[in-house]
């Protein structure tokens, strides 16, 4: 049985100011064997392109006021993401593969090929073989992109969108000012 090495992050995410991540952000799996670095100095300051450019996610915003904190993450409520996250929702970040580095010197990363997905397209789900922590997904429907599992990082960007929102539990609170898709990203809205 693998034991926690003490290398991985624990603690209160509110103790990490945005300035700490001016050069990007690094997180680890629970045992510390796998390290992932996001190479995006604007992770908490610049929003990503709106997943629906035909609409302003906050139509009442004042363009002359200070910008709101960046919304970069996304939530997924599909059954498979819920299972891999071990929770009622998966907090994710979609980005180009070249914007992240995975360091796995001991060869701990394992991959599960998931063919029974809500999108109908396979997803390669990577996790640490030592502690079981989910690391990232590579969806076939988004070539050149990865979906990082944000629980391994010290801070999580506010979500800009959610997919499979129609699959939420009735008791889940609504997240304000995000774009919701009934199922897949870019599909029919909630």
- Asked if the structure places residue 81 within a domain, the reply is yes
pLDDT in tens, 44-92: 876 655 444 334 343 333 333 444 556 789 999 999 999 999 999 999 9
- Domain holding 116, by residue range, is 25-56+69-180
- Asked if the structure places residue 73 within a domain, the reply is yes
- Asked if the structure places residue 138 within a domain, the reply is yes
pLDDT in tens, 163-174: 999 999 999 999
Cβ count within 10 A of residue 33: 23
| 174 within 8 A of 86, measured Cβ to Cβ | no
Tell me the residue ranges of DSSP E strands in the chain: 25-28, 35-38, 71-76, 90-96, 100-103, 109-114, 123-128, 134-139, 145-149, 158-163, 179-180
Report the predicted TM-score, pTM, of the whole model to 2 decimal places: 0.82
- Asked if the structure places residue 50 within a domain, the reply is yes
Domain count, the chain: 1
- Asked if the structure places residue 188 within a domain, the reply is no
Phi, psi of 148 (to 5 degrees): -80, 140
Domain with residue 76: its CATH number is 2.170.150.70
């Amino acid at each position: 049985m693998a034991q926690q090495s003490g290398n991985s992050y624990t603690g209160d995410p509110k103790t990490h100011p945005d300035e700490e991540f001016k050069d990007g952000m690094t997180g680890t799996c629970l045992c510390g064997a796998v390290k992932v670095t996001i190479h995006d100095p604007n992770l908490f300051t610049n929003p990503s392109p709106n997943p629906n450019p035909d609409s302003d996610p906050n139509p009442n915003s004042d363009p002359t006021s200070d910008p709101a904190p960046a919304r970069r993450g996304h939530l997924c409520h599909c059954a498979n993401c819920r299972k891999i996250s071990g929770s009622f929702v998966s907090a994710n970040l979609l980005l180009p593969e070249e914007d992240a580095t995975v360091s796995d010197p001991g060869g701990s990363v394992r991959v599960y090929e998931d063919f029974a997905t809500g999108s109908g397209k396979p997803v390669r789900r990577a996790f640490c073989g030592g502690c079981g922590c989910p690391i990232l997904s590579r969806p076939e429907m988004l070539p050149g992109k990865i979906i990082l599992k944000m629980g391994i990082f010290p801070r999580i960007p506010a979500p800009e969108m959610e997919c499979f929102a129609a699959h939420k539990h009735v008791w889940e609170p609504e997240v304000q000012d995000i774009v919701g898709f009934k199922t897949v990203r870019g599909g029919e809205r909630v």
